């Protein structure tokens, strides 16, 4: 009850202040009037009565003040007073205030920017109902044949068995990607299509905006001509027509019925690159033949866990089923496992370590900023010691002094936070611009409520962190000492200087950690740039010739088309060489296939070695300057009907024929068993998927002209990537080449135009960006540390002017004085460096996954970082030291 009473009274004190004051006014008024009335009745004249009543009452204003204080509003009043006082002090010292606010704003801004990325990418739930229950299912391939590959697509038959045999899931759906060209409605345009087995939309708990999703049984053959549109496509290509449902549209020259339109927020699968979002969904209609395929792994699988089932339980169940399937179908499934990965981990698992490292880095930057501000406040507080002492002498409590000091740094921190938000706003724009194509959900990055709350929170923390040391020093004010000391100059202040030294040491240590971290990343990036990708990227432009599925019905038609394209391009001036490949190097795409080597004991499919298989045209080696090491390349004689020819990579030759020549050896591709193929040439190794791949990929190239539909399946036309080596700047050639392709067949879109240099650069962009950010943070940290050391050294020099004067007067040389000052700065830097190196050893261990070609303990980086820091610290203490050196003993001694 009493608590309630107090809260009510505080409440009124804060929010109904004027009401309380009015009431008080009336009450005191009543008192005076009542007294006057009494005096009048006892015969005193009214005017005199009023005067006496007032006199008896005493100081009216003082009483009011006391009344308000008695209400308990005082602690808030004090706070307001402290804040006002703090604001006034800040105004009076604009230089100090600017420094402190800027330091905090940089620290808080960096934190806010990185947090807003972490928030959108790692923390915010995925945009589905109960997203924690969604998992991605993958095969775990046998490690002997697929070294280093942890997750692999799923085959239809295995998917169907998983779906029918598991109890852990509410639903499970497989999907594959394709591209479909819309015609008959304005310009032809190719869309990214996701083919899904039934139940996909219900697994995601996603409701279409219009129409419906696919219902059970619609993934049977015969229903496949149905399509669900994304909101964007519906608005853009169909003018948001609400009657679109039930209408037919033409995709890849076949009629599809639109059965639904998804809402604007729906996205599946979530793409790392927002410009590659899925635009349409159609049923994945497997024929009975397709459903029986167990050995060809081409599909991704998403599933929803039943309520109360943990991922681990589902994993156990999948393990059991995988074991059973391996026993049941040993020739296809031996060694093949399954793994359930929470959907979010599947999406962001790759970027999480880098983001967490950056988050750690900005926390360090903020700590340095706090130490810096603490130092500035401490130094400033020393000049106010006398004021503090007077306040203590006049009865200010320790708590009150502490509160006052904290109020000031909190004010600084919140000013810094506000400015930091501005910095963060621009920082986020930059981050999104640079990283949009590599960061899942980057379109969701924004300074939302959570981020603002975070900023407010860290501003508060930063205010406390920066204010605690100064506050406790202020509260420790010794009245006698301080008052005796006049202006407090030239006297020992050992406690305070120890605190400042400690802060400088920690600034040095923290910034060295960041410097070394950034140094390791810079070295890694440099090493990555030194990597030979196996081809010559300069002067090569590439583009996708996106032949729609169903465009050609016979392989010969497709081969004829591509030959015409190549012939046409080779006649263009400036073109030195041109060739085609199904998947360009340094892209995520690519096919791995089992092979059987002739003359070796036949084994089941599951035990066959796997190699990367690429389809190429004549001219590809020349266009990419892929070195031919032995034998011959693919030429115009390698066509259907002629003996099958293949090129293999150097690493494949060494892997399969370590002690003999590989040329002339024969092998059979498991999926193209029509004829054995002869190794006719050996080419250099190429980085197939990423510049930083460490495994040399055994690769087999076979001629496009000898491609037939795998294992007698129906032929489906497909796109190829064109690589053109030009004499001129490759960018300028791109449009000429594109037009030439268009001339051959206007119905075939050309897309994804890039120079090979761009592709290398793009493939390194995440590393580069992490490096740039960490480098920027390290630079910021260094700057803050330098400012800290500079201000502390300058301050101590100015305090010791007197001492320096005496030293010089007693015969110390200028150099002695210089060294005296510098030695102190270097001592701090040395201690800081030792601690910083220890910290960097811990940090770099966490960073191991981000490094390439450099050890986390790389001595060169550590030494360079420490030396660089020492030099900077030397410079920062040299300037004030020179000032000390120039001290004129006469002036200095007169100073007091």
Partner 1 sequence: MSKQLDLLQGTLDMLILKATSLGPLHGYGILLRIGQISKDRLEIQQGSLYPALYRLEHQGWITSGWGESENKRRAKYYRLTAAGKRRLQAETEKWNRMTDVIAGILETRPEEV
Smallest separation (angstroms) from partner 1 to the CB of 42: 13
- 60 belongs to the binding site for partner 1 (CB under 8 A): yes
Secondary structure letter of residue 126 according to DSSP: P
CB of 15 to partner 1, least distance (A): 16
Q: What secondary structure does DSSP assign to 453-514, as a single string?
A: HHHHHHHHHHHHHHHHHHHHHHHT--HHHHHHTTTT-SS--HHHHHHHHHHHHHHHHHHHHH
25 touches partner 1 (CB under 8 A): no
Strand runs (DSSP E) across 343-443, as ranges? none
| Between 7 and 875, CB nearer to partner 1 | 7
Q: How far is the CB of 38 from partner 1 (least distance, A)?
A: 8
Nearer of residues 63 and 527 to partner 1, judged by Cβ: 63
Tokens matching residue 42: 């006892």
Q: Which stretch binds partner 1 (CB under 8 A): 18-26, 672-680, 710-718, 789-797?
A: 18-26
What's the rounded Cα separation, in Å, for the pair 379 and 726?
Answer: 65
- The reply to whether 24 sits near partner 1 by the rule CB under 8 A is yes
Kindly indicate which of the ranges 68-76, 397-405, 698-706, 802-810 contains the residues binding partner 1, using the contact rule CB under 8 A. 68-76
Stretch that binds partner 1, among 4-12, 467-475, 489-497, 527-535 (CB under 8 A): 4-12
- Judged by CB under 8 A, the chain residues 717 through 746 that form the site for partner 1 are none
Among 19, 25, 45, 66, binds partner 1 (CB under 8 A): 66
Tokens describing residue 679? 């190794």
Decide if residue 58 touches partner 1 (CB under 8 A): yes
426, two tokens: 């621009």
Does 895 help bind partner 1 (rule: CB under 8 A)? no
State the Cα–Cα distance between residues 419 and 345, nearest whole angstrom.
34
CA distances from 841 to 354, 800, 833, 834, 866 (A): 17, 38, 12, 11, 13
Contacts of residue 363, defined as CB under 8 A and 6 or more positions apart, other chains included, come to: 111
Angle at CA of residue 513, ends 508 and 515, nearest 5°: 90
Q: Tell me the window of 63-71, 81-89, 339-347, 531-539 that interacts with partner 1 (CB under 8 A).
A: 63-71
Q: Residue 336 gets which letter from DSSP?
A: -
CB of 32 to partner 1, least distance (A): 9
Tell me: does residue 35 bind partner 1 (CB under 8 A): yes
What six digits make up the tokens of 792?
A: 């502390």
**Residue whose CB is less far from partner 1, 72 or 550:** 72
Distance CA 443, CA 117 (A): 10
Q: Considering the complex, what minimum distance in angstroms separates the CB of residue 51 from partner 1?
A: 14
Q: Which of 25, 56, 273, 328 binds partner 1 (CB under 8 A)?
A: 56
For residue 242, give every residue at least 6 positions away whose Cβ sits within 8 Å of its Cβ, in sequence order, or none. Answer: 210
Looking at beta carbons only, is 56 or 816 nearer to partner 1?
56
Is 65 or 660 the residue whose CB approaches partner 1 more closely? 65
By CB under 8 A, name the one of 18, 42, 62, 186 that touches partner 1. Answer: 62
Question: What is the token pair recorded at 300?
Answer: 């991704």
Q: Which of 15, 57, 426, 895 binds partner 1 (CB under 8 A)?
A: 57
DSSP assignment, residue 69? I
Question: Which segment (32-40, 234-242, 441-449, 548-556) binds partner 1 by CB under 8 A?
Answer: 32-40
CA 119-122-127 angle, 5° bins? 90
The residue count for binding partner 1 (CB under 8 A) is 30
In angstroms, the CA 246 to CA 180 distance is 19
Of the candidate residues 16, 25, 26, 486, the single one contacting partner 1 (CB under 8 A): 26
As a whole number of angstroms, the distance between CA 843 and CA 865 comes to 14
**Cα separation of 856 and 847, whole Å?**
7
Q: Establish if 18 lies at the interface with partner 1 (CB under 8 A).
A: no
Of 17, 21, 22, 37, the one binding partner 1 (CB under 8 A) is 37
Q: What does the chain come to in residues?
A: 896
Contact yes or no for 89/377 (Cβ under 8 A) = no
Q: In the set 59, 94, 222, 601, which binds partner 1 (CB under 8 A)?
A: 59
Q: Which of 17, 19, 34, 247 binds partner 1 (CB under 8 A)?
A: 34
Give the shortest CB-41-to-partner 1 separation in angstroms: 10
Nearer to partner 1 among residue 67 and residue 655 (C-beta)? 67
Among 40, 67, 479, 826, the residue binding partner 1 under the rule CB under 8 A is 67
Placement of tokens 């399954």 in the chain: 338
Residue 306 DSSP code = P
Considering beta carbons, is residue 41 or 492 the nearer one to partner 1? Answer: 41
Residue 79 beta carbon to partner 1: minimum distance, rounded to whole angstroms:
18
56 versus 693: smaller Cβ distance to partner 1: 56
By beta-carbon proximity to partner 1, the closer residue of 70 and 144 is 70
Q: Which is nearer to partner 1, 17 or 476 (CB)?
A: 17
129 touches partner 1 (CB under 8 A): no
Supply 776's token pair: 């920027």
Beta bridge partners of 211: 260
What one-character DSSP code corresponds to residue 611? E
Site string for partner 1, 217-256 (x = CB under 8 A): ----------------------------------------
Interaction with partner 1 in 70-89: which residues (CB under 8 A)? 70-72
Residue 733: exposure state from Cβ atoms within 10 A (0-12, 13-18, ≥19) = buried
CB of 43 to partner 1, least distance (A): 17
Cα–Cα distance list, 604 to 152, 332, 613 (Å): 19, 7, 19
CA distance 574 to 724: 10
809 class by beta-carbon count within 10 Å (0-12 exposed, 13-18 middle, 19+ buried): middle
- At its nearest, how many Å lie between partner 1 and the CB of residue 448? 41
* 352-382 helix and 494-530 helix, angle to the nearest 10 degrees: 150
Nearer to partner 1, 2 or 88 (CB): 2
Closest approach, Cβ 35 to partner 1, in A, equals 6
Look-up of token digits 């966490």: 846
* 26/863 with CB nearer partner 1: 26
The residues binding partner 1 (CB under 8 A) are 1-2, 5-6, 9, 23-24, 26-28, 30-31, 33-35, 37, 56-60, 62-63, 66-72
């Amino acid at each position: 009850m009493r608590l309630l009473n107090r809260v009510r009274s505080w409440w009124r004190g804060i929010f109904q202040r004027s009401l309380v004051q009015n009431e008080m006014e009336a009450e005191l008024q009543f008192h005076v009037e009542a007294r006057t009335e009494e005096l009048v009745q006892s015969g005193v004249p009214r005017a005199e009565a009023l005067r006496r009543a007032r006199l008896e009452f005493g100081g009216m204003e003082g009483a009011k003040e006391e009344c308000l204080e008695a209400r308990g509003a005082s602690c808030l009043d004090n706070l307001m007073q402290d804040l006002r006082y703090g604001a006034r002090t800040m105004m009076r010292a604009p230089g100090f205030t600017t420094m402190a606010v800027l330091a905090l704003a940089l620290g808080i801004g960096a934190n806010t920017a990185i947090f807003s990325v972490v928030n959108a990418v790692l923390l915010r739930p995925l945009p589905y109902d109960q997203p924690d229950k969604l998992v991605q299912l993958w095969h775990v391939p046998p490690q002997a044949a697929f070294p280093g590959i942890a997750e692999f697509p799923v085959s239809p038959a295995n998917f169907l068995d998983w779906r029918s045999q598991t109890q852990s899931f509410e639903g499970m759906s497989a999907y594959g990607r394709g591209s479909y060209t819309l015609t008959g409605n304005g310009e032809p345009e190719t869309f990214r299509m996701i083919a899904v087995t039934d139940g996909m939309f219900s697994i995601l708990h996603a409701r279409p905006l219009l129409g419906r999703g696919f219902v059970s049984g619609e993934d049977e053959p015969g229903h496949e001509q149905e399509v669900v549109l994304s909101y964007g496509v519906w608005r853009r290509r169909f003018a948001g027509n609400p009657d679109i449902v039930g209408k037919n549209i033409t995709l890849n020259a076949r009629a599809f019925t639109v059965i639904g339109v998804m809402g604007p927020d729906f996205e599946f699968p979530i793409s790392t690159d927002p410009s590659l979002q899925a635009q349409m969904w159609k049923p994945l209609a497997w024929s009975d033949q397709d459903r029986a395929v167990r050995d060809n792994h081409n599909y991704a699988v998403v599933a929803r866990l039943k309520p109360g089932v943990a991922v681990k339980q589902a994993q156990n169940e999948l393990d059991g089923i995988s074991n059973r399937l391996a026993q049941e179908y040993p020739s296809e499934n031996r060694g093949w496992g399954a793994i359930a990965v929470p959907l979010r981990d599947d999406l962001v698992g790759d970027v999480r370590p880098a983001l967490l490292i950056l988050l750690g880095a900005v926390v360090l930057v903020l700590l340095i900023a706090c130490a810096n501000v603490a130092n500035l406040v401490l130094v400033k507080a020393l000049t106010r010691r006398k004021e503090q002492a007077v306040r203590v002498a006049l009865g200010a409590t320790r708590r009150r002094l502490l509160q006052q000091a904290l109020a000031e740094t909190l004010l600084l921190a919140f000013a810094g936070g506000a400015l930091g938000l501005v910095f963060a706003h621009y920082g986020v724009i930059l981050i999104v611009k640079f990283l949009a194509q590599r960061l899942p959900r980057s379109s969701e990055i924004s300074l939302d409520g959570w981020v603002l709350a975070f900023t407010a929170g860290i501003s508060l923390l930063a205010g406390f962190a920066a204010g605690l040391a100064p506050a406790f020093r202020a509260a420790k004010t010794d009245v006698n000492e301080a008052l005796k000391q006049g202006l407090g100059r030239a006297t020992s202040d050992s406690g305070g200087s120890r605190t400042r030294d400690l802060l400088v040491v920690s600034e040095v240590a923290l910034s060295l950690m960041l410097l070394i971290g950034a140094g390791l990343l810079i070295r890694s990036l440099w090493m990555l740039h030194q990597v030979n990708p196996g081809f010559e990227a300069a002067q090569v432009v590439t583009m996708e010739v996106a032949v729609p599925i169903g465009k050609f019905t016979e392989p010969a038609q497709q081969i004829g088309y591509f030959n015409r394209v190549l012939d046409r391009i080779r006649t263009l001036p400036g073109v030195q060489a041109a060739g085609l490949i199904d998947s360009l190097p340094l892209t995520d795409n690519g096919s791995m296939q089992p092979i059987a080597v002739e003359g070796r004991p036949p084994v089941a499919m599951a035990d066959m070695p796997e190699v990367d298989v690429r389809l190429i045209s004549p001219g590809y080696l020349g266009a990419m300057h892929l070195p031919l090491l032995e034998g011959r390349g693919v030429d115009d004689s390698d066509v259907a009907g002629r003996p099958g020819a293949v090129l293999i990579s150097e690493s494949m030759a060494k892997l399969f024929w370590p002690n003999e020549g590989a040329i002339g050896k024969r092998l059979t591709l498991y999926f193209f068993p029509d004829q054995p193929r002869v190794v006719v040439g050996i080419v250099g190794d190429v980085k197939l998927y990423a510049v930083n791949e460490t495994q040399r990929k055994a690769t087999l190239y076979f001629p496009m002209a000898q491609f037939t539909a795998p294992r007698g399946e129906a032929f489906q036309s497909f796109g190829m990537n064109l690589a053109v080596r030009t004499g001129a700047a490759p960018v300028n050639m791109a449009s000429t080449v594109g037009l030439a392709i268009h001339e051959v067949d206007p119905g075939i879109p050309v897309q994804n135009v890039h120079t090979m240099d761009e592709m290398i650069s793009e493939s390194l962009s995440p590393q580069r960006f992490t490096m740039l950010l960490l480098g920027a943070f390290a630079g910021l940290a260094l700057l803050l540390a330098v400012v800290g050391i500079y201000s502390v050294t300058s301050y101590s020099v100015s305090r010791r002017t007197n001492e320096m004067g005496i030293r010089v007067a007693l015969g110390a040389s200028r150099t002695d004085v210089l060294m005296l000052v510098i030695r102190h700065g270097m001592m701090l830097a040395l201690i800081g460096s030792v601690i910083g190196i220890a910290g960097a050893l811990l940090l770099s261990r966490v960073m191991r996954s981000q490094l390439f070609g450099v050890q986390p303990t790389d001595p060169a980086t550590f030494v360079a970082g420490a030396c660089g820091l020492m030099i900077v610290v030397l410079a920062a203490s040299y300037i004030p030291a020179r000032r000390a050196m120039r001290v004129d003993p006469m002036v200095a001694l007169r100073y007091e």
